[in-house]
Amino acid sequence: MALDRITATLLPLIDTELQAIAQSPRRGLEPYYGMLRYHLGWTDQELKPVQAKSSGKRLRPLLCLLSCQALDGDPDQAVPAACAIELIHNFSLVHDDIQDGSRTRRGRRTVWDIWGANHGINVGDGIFALAHLAMHRVADRGVSPERQQAASLALDRACLTLCEGQFFDMAFEDRPNVDLDQYLWMIRSKTAALLAAATQIGAILATDDAHRIKHFGQFGENLGMAFQIQDDLLGAWGDEEMTGKSAASDIRDRKKTFPVVYALTQGHDRQATQQLAELYGGQAPLDDADIQSVLDILDAVGARRRAEEAALSYYRQALQNLDHAARDASAQENLRELAASLLGRQA
């Protein structure tokens, strides 16, 4: 596929730049940067180099570079900005792991689980700072000060929105009543905002056309919404071998995902709503029978179908935004193919 070829070209550019950004500036700091590089998948627990197998999909930087290319921009100029976005994503993961008490990520122990929460917080903060320094590297690639400033502003706004979304995500854990509008606002902030920043920044570095930049930002936001709702579906009904997570993991953890929030707030089956609220409101771990009961309730009230419809709607909106703004047909098709692959659809 064309996307496979372009990804094979772009991923090495991203990883080479990330490696350069994350190098220790002096010998005494090698243990600190080693922890940082461990999270990025480049070292083992002894901080010895390994071939990266746990570095993530690089979705956000790919979206940035492909968006730049789709507006006739030079993706090479956008590489540092793409890396800045990837580092912000990873900063949020390091802190999320601490906040959630998660001991594994991408099949390996998390930073805080190995070195403690204090080091984990400091590693996350360092990644955050490196992301902002990375954005300044676009000047070395010929990007004008005006476009660099606009890209930096978009990244800063996304960072704040991401933190706001994380606040509500944590607050919702202890809040018995969360409606669907509140949930959608939360995922728009926590998940979609950074994908929107990736596509918007890619556009900013390619053009001064505000109309096209706006549509590319909306493309990323709608794609992010579809992506998160699809992830919610996989967290309840996903194939364990394909997702890498235990079956119904979100239900086992009592996460308030789109299907669950819909089921808790739908009004036509009060008995099912009450039963689900009791299961989700308890303190004892959910056993397999409880999980099956939750799944049965979600199916009975149409929560799965409603989530699938919502994901498809956001996906279609994303493609409409892309059609309105892209200039380069080949790059546009690559973005369509990438969007489809995220949601398990045909491009």
Residue 240 has pLDDT above 80, yes or no: no
pLDDT in the model for residue 6: 83
CATH code: domain 2-342 is 1.10.600.10
Q: Where are the domains of the chain?
A: 2-342
**Would you state the pLDDT for residue 261?**
96
> Do 128 and 91 meet the contact criterion of CB atoms below 8 Å apart?
yes
**pTM, 2 dp:** 0.94
SS3 43: strand
Task: Quickly state the pLDDT bin for 239 (edges 50, 70, 90).
Answer: confident
Beta carbons of 332 and 202 less than 8 angstroms apart = no
Q: Which amino acid is at 70?
A: A
pLDDT digits (tens, 9 = 90+) for 106-121: 889 999 999 999 999 9
- Compute φ and ψ for 70, nearest 5 degrees: -70, -15
Q: Return the pLDDT at 238.
A: 84
> Given pLDDT bands bounded at 50, 70 and 90, which one contains residue 51?
confident
Which of these, 316, 298, 173, lies nearest to 237 by C-alpha position? 298
Summarize pLDDT for 127-139 with one digit per residue, the tens: 999 999 999 999 9
Cα dist from 19 to 87, 90, 174, whole Å? 11, 14, 40
What mean pLDDT is reported for the chain?
93
pLDDT score of 56 more than 80: no
Residue 345, CA distances (Å) to 156, 187, 273, 311, 314 in order: 32, 21, 31, 11, 13
Helices vs strands, H then E, count in the chain = 17, 2
Per-residue model confidence (pLDDT) at position 55: 64
pLDDT score for 343 = 85
Q: SS3 string of 298-342?
A: HHHCCHHHHHHHHHHHHHHHHHHHHHHHCCCHHHHHHHHHHHHHH
Per-residue model confidence as pLDDT tens digits over 185-236: 999 999 999 999 999 999 999 999 999 999 999 999 999 999 999 999 999 9
Q: What is the pLDDT of residues 72-89, one digit of tens each?
A: 999 999 999 999 999 999
* Residue 231: per-residue pLDDT: 94
Which residues, 6+ apart, have CB-to-CB distance to 258 below 8 Å? 180, 183, 187, 228, 229, 232, 233, 303, 306, 307, 310
When pLDDT is averaged across residues 277-302 and rounded to a whole number, the result is 92
User: Is the distance from CB of 82 to CB of 198 less than 8 angstroms?
Assistant: yes
| 51 close to 60: Cβ distance less than 8 angstroms | no
Q: Are 78 and 64 in contact (CB under 8 A)?
A: yes
The yes-or-no verdict on residue 103 having pLDDT over 70 is yes
Check residue 314 and give its pLDDT: 98
- What's the confidence (pLDDT) of residue 346? 55
pLDDT digits (tens, 9 = 90+) for 14-49: 999 999 999 999 999 999 999 999 999 999 999 999
Residue with tokens 């921009």: 73
